[in-house]
Structure 1
Amino acid sequence: MLTSREIARALQGCWMLFRNRPEGMRYLDLSIEGFWRSFSVVFLLVPLFVVSSFSERRLVLDETNVLSENFPEGTYWLAQFTSLGLDWIALPILLAGLAGPLGIQKGYVPFVVARNWSSLLVAAPYVLVGLLYLGGLIAPGIMVLLSLVILVVMIWYRFLIARIALQAAVGTAIGIVVLDVVLSLLIGELAGRLWGL
C-alpha cells in the first residue's frame, strides 16, 4: 500500500522532472522494491481515468447524436479498463527486452519508476478538461483542442523523463516516447475491437 508521504514525495519529484530538473529523480524510490511499488500507482489513476472516460463517452454521444440508452455501456467500460491495464504494463515489458540492445539497462528501473509516477501528473490536466466539459463549461471542440495541447506538452514531458531517467541520447529518448505513444494508440484500438466497439 502506498503511503501519503511516499505519494507526496514522488509527485514532488515528478514536478521537478517536468521542470527539467534531474534532481527530481532523488525523490523517487529507485530500488527494486520501489520499482514494483510504482505499479501500484495505477490504483490512484483509476478515479482520474474514470472521469476522463466519462468525458470521452459524453463526447461520443454529443458528436454522433447516439441516444444514451443506445450507448454500449458494458462494452465501452470493458474496453476502457482493458486498455488501461494493457497500456500500464506493455511498455515496461517491451523495454525489458529492448534495454540490452538499446544500452539502457542501468536506466530501465529509474525510467519505469518515473514513468509510472508521472502518469498522475499526465492524467491531471485531462481530468480538469474533462470536468469542465462534463460541467457544460466548454464546448466539445474546445475540449478536443485543449486535449491536443495537453498531449503535446505531455509528450515533451515523457521525452524529458526518458532523457533524464535513462540518461539516453536524444534519438533514443525520442524513439522510446514514440514507441510509448504508438503502443497506447494500438492498445486502445485493439481493446475497442476486442469488445466490438
Structure 2
Amino acid sequence: MSTAGEIFAGVYGAWRLARRDPSGLIWFDASPRGFWNSFWGPALILPGFLVLQTLDGAFEEDLLRPLVVELIAYVIGCVAFPLVMSHISEGLERSHLYMRYIVAYNWSQVVQMAVLLPTGLLIHLAPGHGMALLNMAMTIVVLVYQAYVAHQALEVKPGAAGMLVLLDLSLGALIQMIATRLLT
C-alpha cells in the first residue's frame, strides 16, 4: 500500500507535468513497487468517476446492476491500457521507460479528475450553450496533458504521444460501449 508521502509525490509529479515541467518525472517511483503503487491514483479518483457517471445518468433507473457493471468496466479500463502499453512500448523501443510512463499515466489521472469533475459539476448545475464549449475546452486540455505525459515519460515525439492518447481513448470507448451494452 502507498504511504501518504508516495501519494503526495505521485500527485505532485503529475501536477508538475501539468505545468509543463518535465522535472515532475523525478517525483515518480518507477520501480516495480512504485509501478504497482501508482494504481492508487485511479483508486483515489473512483468516487469522482462515480459522480460523473451519476451526472451522465448511469444510475437513474437502478443502482446495483449499473454500479457493478461500471465498477467492473472501470477496473478493466485501469488495467487495459497498461497491458497494451507493455507490448507497444517494446515496439517503440521504449520498454526501459514503460514503468515510468505507467506510473506517470496513473498519477496523472488524479490531475485530470481535478479538471473534469468541477467541469462536469458546473455543466450539470448551469447547463447552456457556453457549457458545451467549456466541456470541449477542458477535454482538449486533458488530452493535450495526456500527450505531454506520454511525450515526456516515454521520450517519444509528440505525434507518437498523440497516437497513444488516441489508443487510450479508443480502448476506453470500447470498454464503455460494452458496459453500456450490458446495461441494455
TM-score (norm. length: structure 2): 0.90
Give the deviation of 1:11 after TM superposition: 1.6
Can you list the C-alpha shifts for 1:151-188, whole angstroms capped at 9, x where unaligned?
A: 11111001101110000122321211110111111111
Structure with higher Rg: it is 1
5+ residue gaps in structure 2? Answer: none
Q: Do the aligned partners of 2:119 and 2:138 also contact (CA within 8 Å) in 1?
A: no
Give the deviation of 1:147 after TM superposition: 2.6
SS at match of 2:143: helix
RMSD of aligned alpha carbons: 2.0
Count of residues in correspondence between the two structures: 184
5+ residue gaps in structure 1? Answer: 62-67
Task: Output aligned runs, 1:18-97, within 5 Å.
Answer: 18-57=18-57, 68=60, 71-97=61-87
Give the deviation of 1:80 after TM superposition: 2.1
Structure 1: distance between partners of 2:112 and 2:50: 15
Bigger shift: 25-34 or 41-50? Answer: 41-50
Letter in 1 for 2:119: V
Are the structure 2 counterparts of residues 133 and 151 from structure 1 closer, same or farther at C-alpha, using a change threshold of 3 Å?
closer
Q: Do the aligned partners of 2:10 and 2:38 also contact (CA within 8 Å) in 1?
A: no
Structure 2: distance between partners of 1:83 and 1:148: 24
After TM superposition, what 4+ stretches of structure 1 lie above 6 angstroms from structure 2?
none
SS at match of 1:184: helix
Q: Which has the higher contact order (CA 8 A, sep 6+)?
A: 1
Bigger shift: 99-108 or 115-124? Answer: 99-108
Structure 2: distance between partners of 1:148 and 1:80: 24
Aligned partner (choices 111, 129, 154) of residue 142 of structure 2: 154
Structure 1: distance between partners of 2:171 and 2:131: 24
Identity %: 29
Give the deviation of 1:143 after TM superposition: 4.6
Letter in 2 for 1:55: L
State the match for 1:101 in structure 2.
Answer: 91
Letter in 1 for 2:158: V
Can you list the C-alpha shifts for 1:76-130, whole angstroms capped at 9, x where unaligned?
A: 3233222211111111101112222221112211110000001001111221123
Give the deviation of 1:2 after TM superposition: 2.2
State the match for 1:16 in structure 2.
Answer: 16
State the match for 1:64 in structure 2.
Answer: none
